[in-house]
């Protein structure tokens, strides 16, 4: 199964939306479909397409995994409600933190989050629903590194705890699979999503868990969430490709009220990049850097040290883990 790429210059977003809505409609027929919305541009665009095609027969879930940014579930749900799309929030915080407990290896962390999402939480919702159609925001870039469609979709079923050999009728619909990120952004805009979504900064799948070095706990997520608010406020107008706060596991010495405090270090990364394949640290002014450091040390409990990344990718990567 080869996928026909639609390049940005050949994309008529309005026509694409009409066409994909028709396709979804004819595939699902009078049945029901289900999808998970993360608030990223891909899953947001798919939600709009699915809703256009199926209306209330598309059931959209937002899984609150506890490792999102400040106010994220509320903001996303409210934004979709305004567009007439109802989203149901599933509070799965405990399940995710339980899955992450004791894990320090980044790859194992990622795997634990994937497993918790597919098997424990979303898989259960899919199996319990009467929806046999699953809408997914896969884009061509996601496919590039894996083998052809059928094998890939088989993997998704496996992750969901659904055996396609014994459980018949489940189908995955991937309306964005011919597009790259730039195409998805254009479709998202044409579908009526606000700029805060269609122009959204890349954010990793493991969310704030990717911004905590070492074991992920509710306390550490709370700290890196506060730091993320500060970074996003201060760097919103920086024009950078991506920026982030990373909570280190190493402890460093600080001084508070004349007393030694073995405290936390927060690293700030802010990247200039065209396509994320190469990236360089943004040349932020010292005024901005000092302000960031001051806010981190005075507003985020326990932080006594703040650093700014000065390495490039490669050999660095955008995210720390």
Own/partner pairs for 76-82, CB < 8 Å, 24+ apart?
Answer: 76/37, 76/39, 79/194, 79/196, 79/197, 80/37, 80/47
* DSSP one-letter code for 257: T
Nearer residue to its own copies within complex by CB, 171 or 308: 308
Nearer residue to its own copies within complex by CB, 84 or 315: 315
Distance CA 181, CA 191 (A): 15
Q: Are 157 and 164 spatial neighbours (Cβ–Cβ below 8 Å)?
A: yes
Nearer residue to its own copies within complex by CB, 87 or 268: 268
At residue 263, the 3 state secondary structure works out as strand
Residue 309, both tokens = 């990344």
Nearer residue to its own copies within complex by CB, 59 or 220: 220
Nearer residue to its own copies within complex by CB, 47 or 265: 265
Cβ of residue 253: shortest distance to its own copies, in angstroms? Answer: 5
Residue 32, both tokens = 């029901």
Rule CB under 8 A: which residues touch its own copies?
106, 213-214, 248-256, 260-263, 267-268, 280-281, 283, 286, 289-290, 292-294, 296-297, 304-317, 319-321
Angle between helices 41-54 and 13-28 (to 10 degrees): 60
Cβ of residue 70: shortest distance to its own copies, in angstroms? Answer: 23
44 CB neighbour count, 10 Å cutoff:
26
Residue 298, both tokens = 């005075």
Nearer residue to its own copies within complex by CB, 111 or 158: 111
The length of the chain in residues reads 321
Distance CA 45, CA 187 (A): 7
Residue 268, both tokens = 């700030």
Cβ of residue 252: shortest distance to its own copies, in angstroms? Answer: 5
246 CB neighbour count, 10 Å cutoff:
23
Cβ of residue 25: shortest distance to its own copies, in angstroms? Answer: 42
Residue 148, both tokens = 């052809």
Nearer residue to its own copies within complex by CB, 170 or 271: 271
Q: In what order do the strands lie in the sheet with 33-36?
A: 87-91, 58-64, 33-36, 133-135, 171-173
Distance CA 28, CA 69 (A): 34
Nearer residue to its own copies within complex by CB, 29 or 239: 239
Cβ of residue 254: shortest distance to its own copies, in angstroms? Answer: 5
Nearer residue to its own copies within complex by CB, 194 or 263: 263
The owner of tokens 């799309």 is 85
Cβ of residue 69: shortest distance to its own copies, in angstroms? Answer: 21
Residue 10, both tokens = 């050949």
Cβ of residue 181: shortest distance to its own copies, in angstroms? Answer: 20
Cβ of residue 123: shortest distance to its own copies, in angstroms? Answer: 28
Cβ of residue 282: shortest distance to its own copies, in angstroms? Answer: 10
């Amino acid at each position: 199964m080869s996928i026909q790429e639609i390049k940005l210059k050949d994309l008529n977003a309005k026509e694409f939306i009409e066409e994909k809505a028709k396709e979804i409609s004819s595939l699902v027929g009078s049945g029901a479909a289900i999808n998970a919305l993360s608030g990223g541009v891909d899953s947001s665009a798919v939600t709009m397409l699915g809703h256009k095609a199926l209306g209330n027969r598309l059931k959209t879930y937002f899984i609150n995994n506890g490792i999102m940014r400040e106010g994220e579930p509320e903001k996303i749900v409210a934004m979709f409600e305004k567009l007439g799309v109802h989203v149901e929030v599933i509070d799965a915080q405990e399940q995710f933190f339980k899955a992450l407990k004791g894990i320090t290896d980044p790859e194992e962390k990622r795997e634990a989050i994937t497993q918790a999402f597919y098997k424990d939480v979303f898989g259960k919702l899919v199996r319990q629903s009467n929806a046999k159609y699953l809408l997914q925001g896969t884009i061509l870039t996601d496919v590039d590194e894996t083998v052809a469609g059928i094998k890939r979709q088989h993997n998704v079923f496996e992750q969901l705890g659904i055996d396609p050999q014994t459980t018949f009728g489940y189908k995955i619909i991937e309306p964005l699979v011919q597009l790259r990120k730039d195409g998805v952004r254009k479709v998202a805009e044409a579908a009526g999503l606000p700029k805060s979504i269609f122009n959204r900064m890349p954010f990793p799948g493991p969310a704030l868990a990717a911004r905590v070095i070492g074991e992920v706990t509710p306390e550490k997520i709370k700290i890196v969430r506060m730091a993320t608010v500060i970074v996003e406020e201060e760097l919103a107008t920086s024009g950078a490709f991506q920026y982030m706060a990373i909570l280190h596991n190493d402890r460093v010495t600080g001084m508070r009220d004349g007393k030694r405090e073995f405290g936390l270090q927060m690293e700030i990364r802010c990247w200039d990049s065209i396509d994320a394949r190469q990236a360089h640290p943004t040349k932020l002014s010292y005024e901005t850097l000092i302000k960031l450091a001051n806010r981190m040390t005075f507003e985020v409990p326990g932080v006594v040290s703040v650093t700014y990344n000065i390495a490039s990718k490669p050999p660095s990567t955008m995210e720390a883990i």
